[in-house]
Amino acid sequence: MIAAALTGFATGFSLILAIGAQNAFVLRQGLARAHVFWLCLFCAASDAVLITAGVLGFGAIVALWPGLPRVMALAGAAFLVVYGLQRLIAAWRGDYALQLAGQTRGLWPTLATAAAFTWLNPHVYLDTLGLIGAISTDFHGTAPKTAFGAGAVAASFVFFFSLGYGARLMGPVMQSAHAWRVLDTGIGLVMWALAAKLLS
C-alpha cells in the first residue's frame, strides 16, 4: 500500500512538474496574490477527477474515438495562441497599475481561464487518463490501485498549492511594471511555443 502510494505520488509529481500553460497561470496568479486558494483547489481537484478516471480505466475512450486527441489539440492551441497574445499585448502596453495596487480579475473569470488551461489541454488527458492510467494497471486489487491513485492526487495538491503560495516569495521582485512586463512576455512566448508543439 505504501509503495503503491509513493509510486503514485512520484509519478504524478514528475508529470506535473514540467513547465506548462496551467503552471504558468498559477504562478502568475500567485505572484499577484489573487484567488490563489480557489485556483489551486480547482486545478488540483480537476487533476483528481482525471486521475481517478484514468485509474478506473476511462482512458479507453481515446481508443474508441481516435480523433479526440486531435480535436483537443486544435482547441487547446487556439486558446493558447489567444491567451499568449493577450499577455504579449499587456507586456507591450506596460500598464500594470492594477497589479501593483493588488487589484486583479474576479474569481469566476480566473477560474474560467483555469478551466480552459486544464480541460482544453490534450497533454493533461495523456498524462492522467493515459500514462497514470496505464501505470496503475501494474497494481492488482482495489487497495493498491486506490493507494496509487491517492498518491498521484496528493502530488497534484502538493504541487499546485506549493506553486501558488510559493510564488509569494518572489513578491519583492515583482514590485515594478518592468518585472511584470518581463513575466508576461515570457508567459506569452511559452504559450505560443506550447501551441506550436500541440499543432506539430
- What pLDDT does residue 174 have? 64
Euclidean distance between CA atoms 105 and 114, whole angstroms: 13
Q: Identify the weakest region by mean pLDDT among 55-59, 68-72, 92-96, 101-105.
A: 101-105
- State the average pLDDT over residues 39-47: 96
- What pLDDT does residue 46 have? 95
Residue owning grid cell 493588488: 102
- What pLDDT does residue 107 have? 92
- What pLDDT does residue 158 have? 96
Greatest mean pLDDT among 16-30, 119-133, 152-166, 167-181: 152-166
Nearest 5 degrees, angle CA 68-CA 71-CA 75? 140
| Burial category of 130 from C-beta neighbours within 10 Å (exposed 0-12, middle 13-18, buried 19 and up) | middle
Which domain covers residue 94, as residue numbers?
2-199
Dihedral sign for Cα 15, 19, 25, 29, please: positive
Q: In the chain, pLDDT over 70 holds for what percent of residues?
A: 86
- State the average pLDDT over residues 92-103: 63
Cell of 134: 496505464
What's the mean pLDDT when you consider all of the chain? Answer: 82
Euclidean distance between CA atoms 88 and 165, whole angstroms: 25
65 pLDDT exceeds 60?
Answer: yes
Cβ atoms of residues 156 and 44 within 8 Å? yes
pLDDT tens profile 157-186: 999 999 899 888 877 766 677 777 887 888
Beta-carbon contacts of residue 109 (< 8 Å; ≥ 6 apart): none
**Domain total for the chain?**
1
Q: In the chain, pLDDT over 90 holds for what percent of residues?
A: 23
The alpha-helical segments, DSSP class H, found in the chain are 2-16, 21-32, 36-55, 60-64, 68-93, 97-100, 107-119, 122-125, 133-136, 142-166, 177-199
- State the average pLDDT over residues 95-108: 67
